Chain A
Amino acid sequence: MLARRESAGADRADVERRLRDSMRTLWCLGAMATALAAFALVSVTIAVCSRVEGALATGAPDLWHALYMADPSPTLPAPPSGGLYSAVHNGGGWAAVTTLASGLPALAIGVAACLGVTLMLRDVARTGRPFSDRVVRSLRCVSVLLVAADVVPALLCMLASWAAPAGASFSLSGGTGWPILAGAALAAVSRVFEYGCVLQRQDDETL
């Protein structure tokens, strides 16, 4: 009987060690992803500010006009290819406004989601306990952020399109739906973890 308990204890210690190792690796990856996303956010924000500043200096009356009317700045490097960077660098026109309106918030929410996951992984790697109220809260937050990352940019893009002047050319970039599905799946997983917390408490109180 004692031998079986010792064997179960050894199994558990082994599983805990493997869990900590995996979480440590994932934490490093999460930290790198967060740093990259934050770097992208900061560089795009700096580029937007630089463009807006240039446009305001050359007579644009407000922020929207600055984005809408601005000419490509000769001081900025050439854009890599399409997307957000292209909108910032080659901008001008309502397409740039709608792209920025949907791209920047999505990037910001992505940074927040990456940060949430990274902090959660760090907690689990430190404590070796995945079933805790803290992890459940983190999972819920990240699931909400994933849903927001798809919904908020689509709404902002829609608002920008309503504010578009007559005849302005732009394309509506709505949500893809995948982040919403991922968020819903993560919310379901957080429910499973809630149940895991109850079982963990029972196990802690059993000798």
Chain B
Amino acid sequence: MIVLRLDRVLADRKMRSKELAELVGISEVNLSRIKCGRISAVRFSTLDAICRALDCQPGDLLEYVPDE
């Protein structure tokens, strides 16, 4: 399964969720859904905006974890 590591990258950048939500242009509720993994897909446009705001690569945000 694919796991989003947004909370880890946010902690590394010492950035708050509210700030990132404003930079990306999505609501805090939706950002929280991304952080908690309560979504089934991410648009390239959203990923692009997050990577630009956090100055990171998609690989820093996404991680593949084999199913048990």
Contact = CB atoms under 8 A, between A and B. Distances in A.
A75 interface: no
Contacts of A1: 45, 48-49
A5 B24 CA distance: 11
Contacts of B49: 1-2
Interface residues of A, number: 9
Contact of A6 (B25, B41, B46): B25
- Most B CB contacts (10 A, CB to CB) among A1, A4, A5, A207 go to A207
A205 B39 contact: yes
Contact of A202 (B25, B30, B40, B45): B40
Interface in A1-19: 1-2, 4-6
Interface of B: 25-26, 30, 33-34, 39-43, 45-46, 48-49
Given A1-B45, A206-B42, A207-B43, 10 more contacts: A1-B49, A5-B43, A6-B25, A202-B40, A205-B40, A205-B41, A206-B40, A207-B33, A207-B41, A207-B42
The 10 closest A-B pairs by CB, nearest first: A205-B40, A206-B41, A1-B45, A5-B45, A207-B39, A205-B39, A207-B30, A207-B46, A1-B48, A2-B25
